[in-house]
Structure 1
Amino acid sequence: MSIQYRQDMPPPGGFEAVKYKRNLPFRGPSGLVILGAVTAVCAYGFYRVGMGNLERRELEREKVWSRIHLVPLLVAEGDRDAYRRQEAALEREREIMKDVKGWEPGKSVYNNARYRSAESIVVL
């Protein structure tokens, strides 16, 4: 008994070509386009920072000059307030010490024209 072997052969015309290349779909912009976009965004950001610095510097200059021009007004206002407070304090002193004979409101309580602290006075 003899067994007949049949050899497996390629189909007529041969097999299809083996597909070994990557066939990937388009997945967005190229690296050069992305780099260009990032550069443009950074340039715009630096431009805005520069404009903000100029604006901040101008506001600071305006604030300094407004303070310079307001100083005389503020000093005068402070002087008026100090005078008003001093007059009110004298009036309170007059009211409190009205029954004390020889008391002069606003006069220094020291016998010397020069103020001396308590530590500099030596008591024997």
Structure 2
Amino acid sequence: MSRIGYTQDMPPPGGYKPIQYEKLMPKQGNAFIKLAGLIGFTGFGVFSYYQTRKIWRLRRVEQNDARFAVEPLIAAERQRSTMMHWRKVRDEENELMKNVPHWKTGTLYGEPVFYNKLGRWVEPNFAEYYAHVSSKTAVNHRNEARRH
């Protein structure tokens, strides 16, 4: 018969090390070094926080300057968009009421809707402005400023 080609796993010569079962306490370091490290890290954290706060303040100032510079352009575009919308509403009213005799666009029983007695523009309410669009579009336009 031939011999099997394996060897049995045996303990190392001299046996295994004894099993450690009692509690080992860590070595105590120097308390002054630990305190100095704590103070150093805390000081570095405070210093970097104040440096970062300066950067945040500068960025906020720059962002506000940019916002203030662009605000008149945004207001002008919003007013332009509003006037284009009112022109479209007026044209729709003219088209819709073209066969009604004595109908004058922009009035209700002869009283002007969008101007007061002094001839000044009166801002119409939300329902009048969005009378000819879907409710989803109206809500999106109303909440547009909140998204920016």
TM-score with structure 2 setting the length: 0.54
TM-score with structure 1 setting the length: 0.64
- By how many angstroms is 1:64 displaced? 1.1
- By how many angstroms is 1:109 displaced? 4.2
Q: Which residue of 2 aligns with 1:71?
A: 71
Q: Which residue of 2 aligns with 1:97?
A: 97
Letter in 2 for 1:78: R
Q: Work out whether residues 97 and 103 of structure 2, in 8 Å CA contact, stay in contact via their aligned partners in 1.
A: yes
The SS at the match of 1:29 is coil
Distance, in Å, in 2 between the alignment partners of 1:40 and 1:63 is: 34
Q: Which residue of 1 aligns with 2:88?
A: 88
**What is the aligned-residue identity percentage?**
19
Letter in 2 for 1:31: A
Q: Greater CA radius of gyration, 1 or 2? A: 1
The SS at the match of 1:100 is coil
The alignment yields a C-alpha RMSD, in angstroms, of 2.4
Distance, in Å, in 2 between the alignment partners of 1:106 and 1:26 is: 89
User: Where do 5+ consecutive residues of structure 1 fail to align?
Assistant: 1-24, 115-124
Q: Which residue of 1 aligns with 2:42?
A: 42
Letter in 1 for 2:92: R
Letter in 2 for 1:36: A
Runs of 4+ in 1 over 3 A off after TM superposition: 107-114
Distance, in Å, in 2 between the alignment partners of 1:63 and 1:89 is: 37
Distance change in 2, residues 1:26/1:73 (3 Å): closer
Distance, in Å, in 2 between the alignment partners of 1:77 and 1:111 is: 30
Q: Which residue of 2 aligns with 1:56?
A: 56
Q: Which residue of 2 aligns with 1:4?
A: none
Of the structure 1 ranges 45-54 and 100-109, higher mean CA displacement relative to structure 2 is found in 100-109
Report the count of equivalent residues. Answer: 91
- Once the two structures are superposed, residues 65-101 of structure 1 have per-residue CA deviations (whole angstroms, 9 ceiling, x without a partner) of 1111011101110111011111011011112111101
User: Where do 5+ consecutive residues of structure 2 fail to align?
Assistant: 1-24, 118-148
